[in-house]
Chain A
Amino acid sequence: MENENNRRNFLRKSLYAMILAFIPPSFISGEKSKKVVEWIIGENYNPYDHYWSMGIDINKCIGCGRCADACKTENDVPREPFFFRTWVERYRIYQDGDVQIDSPNGAVNGFEKGTESKNIERSFFVPKICNHCDNPPCVQVCPVGATFKSEDGVILVDKNYCIGCRYCIQACPYGARYLHPETRTADKCTFCYHRLVQGKLPACVETCPTQARIFGELKKKASPLERFRRMNKINVLKPALNTEPKVYYANLDMEVK
């Protein structure tokens, strides 16, 4: 009788052990998640204290392209055209309804005036950048988990883990990603994450001469960004895609795609 009991206990225990082995570790490691909350990177930066986002005021952008140039300098983005973490587009809407969009070399060298054969109805510049979506399609499609949303809302790429399959480049509806020609991995805007952890602004925000770019906390009551969102009529790019972008545009024209 005793013997049988032991066997039954043994089988029961082994059954529990089997179940435990297949449970994802995050369910049981209460202690570990506590450690993560106190996780501090850099000198004094707790990602759980922040939620970053950007505002762009179209009416203030003068199309000088200093942001695109500074981004390339700050992040060692290849200087050739087609590799951009941020760029500026020029929209020209003519009186006959024709819309021309151009961005010569991402506006790193600014814009040329050009000759207009038709009358312009309205014209403006639109700085573009990764929208750091709250519901990012690029993260969803990554087959290896090389791109991810950090705790402070920034979409990052782990370039040492990326396999260069380019799914994310295809998935991004904003064209914000490119394949780095040297590493052959996906690359994109990081909101200058290495600057954020040191309490500095992203390079494009730092160098914008007209403060068309506003950067700050999304979930704090007082931040430059919250003020921007309070004082302006706000829109995002392609809201119908439910990507929930965290780059907010003020005075966005309906023609902007």
Chain B
Amino acid sequence: MKNFLKEIPEQVTRIVFLLIVFIAAFLFIRSNLVPEDFGKTGHYRFSAIDEIISVDIKYAGQDVCNECHDDIVVVKDSSYHHNVTCEVCHGAAAIHADDPVEFTPTAPRERNICPQCHEYLPSRPTGFPQIISASHNPLKPCITCHNPHDPVPPETPKECSACHKEISSTKSISHHALIPCTKCHSVPEKHRLDPREYLPTKPGSREFCGQCHSEDADSEPGIPRIDLETHETKYVCWQCHYPHLPEAK
């Protein structure tokens, strides 16, 4: 054996020595550069999984909402919105689930939320309820007519619109959309049988509109108001304003 080693030419022993040095250096550098847990379960760093799953959850999930808000969930689950989870409208609520007192989720009341799904787009699937918000009761928040937890179209007074279609369509896109016909017109029962003989009443006085629109009226804020004493006293309201489609503010 000793003779055999001696018989190896020197250039071979040198190159083998160099090769061994290179391999050793490679293994040393590699063991220092490659993370310890690399390749434990596959060609990746094992602890990466722990880092990825350590991200905080933002959306709590429907099950978590159900635990406390079962009264609303029961209503929602039997409505058209049964597939819409709470956090679609109310936003990510995991922090609310963790600390219900400190953090309250948003409750969208503005008009711009519902059209995200319900605005008319030609690309939306046929049959999905859509509106054109520019002409659909403009400026009114959706929740004045629709309950988002149990959305149904508001009932239209078919008794009046059957004959007065044009007025009802006009009124439906006006600021007065929510005011029922009978608020201003008292209709005798016989009007339906003999409409020309028995006419409904029409409000004739300035004070009638003033019930909502005078400065001291007991009505909702945001309604345009005038001073009945000084505002165009020569006329009654309907001579300038059309009550079924009053001017925008």
Nearest to A202 among chain B residues (CB) is B59
Query: Is the Cβ of A113 less than 8 Å from the Cβ of B57?
Result: no
User: Does the CB pair A207–B87 fall under 8 Å?
Assistant: yes
- Find out whether the CB atom of A63 lies under 8 angstroms from the CB atom of B124: yes
Q: Is A90 an interface residue (CB 8 A)?
A: yes
Partner of B128, one of A32, A36, A62: A62
**Cβ contact within 8 Å between A194 and B52:** yes
Say whether A148 contacts B54, CB under 8 Å. no
Q: A161-B48, A198-B57, A207-B59 are in contact. Are A63 and B121 (CB under 8 A)?
A: yes
Q: Which residues of B contact A206 (CB under 8 A)?
A: 59, 61-62, 85, 87
Per-position 1/0 for B170-187, Cβ under 8 A of A: 000000000000000000
Asked if A39 and B123 make an inter-chain contact with CB atoms under 8 angstroms apart, the answer reads: no
Nearest CB of A to B207, in Å: 44
B51 touches A158 (CB 8 A): yes
Q: Which chain A positions have C-beta within 8 A of B58?
A: 73-74, 203
Say if the beta carbon of A13 comes within 8 Å of chain B.
no
Q: Are B85 and A207 in contact (CB under 8 A)?
A: yes
| Interfacial residues of chain B within 127-171, with CB under 8 A of chain A in the complex | 128
Contact A60 B59 (CB under 8 A): no
Q: How many residue pairs bridge A and B at CB < 8 Å?
A: 133
A194 touches B53 (CB 8 A): yes
Interface-located stretch among A118-126, A130-138, A168-176, A228-236: A118-126
Point out the residues of chain A lying under 8 angstroms from B53, CB to CB.
Answer: 41-42, 193-194, 197
CB–CB A123/B128 < 8 A: no
Q: Specify the chain B residue showing the minimal Cβ separation from A21.
A: B27
A164 located at the interface, meaning its Cβ lies under 8 Å from any Cβ of chain B in the complex: no
Interface range, B side: 35 or more
| A145/B43 contact (C-beta < 8 A), A74-B58, A158-B48, A206-B85 known | yes
A216 to B124, CA, bound (A): 26
Contacts of A111 in B (CB 8 A): 121, 123
Interface size class on chain A is 35 or more
Closest-CB distance, B87 to chain A (whole angstroms): 6
- In A44-70, the 8 Å CB interface with B consists of 59-66, 70
Report which B residues bind A (CB closer than 8 A).
Answer: 1, 35, 38-45, 48-59, 61-62, 81, 83-85, 87-88, 91-92, 116-117, 119-125, 128
Task: Beyond the given A74-B92, A161-B48, please list 10 additional residue pairs across the A-B interface where CB-CB is below 8 A.
Answer: A4-B1, A61-B125, A74-B58, A76-B55, A113-B119, A151-B42, A159-B51, A194-B54, A203-B58, A207-B87
Contact sample, A vs B, 20 pairs, CB 8 Å cutoff? A41-B50, A63-B121, A64-B116, A66-B117, A70-B59, A73-B59, A73-B92, A74-B92, A113-B119, A124-B125, A146-B45, A151-B42, A158-B52, A161-B48, A190-B52, A197-B53, A200-B57, A200-B61, A209-B81, A209-B84
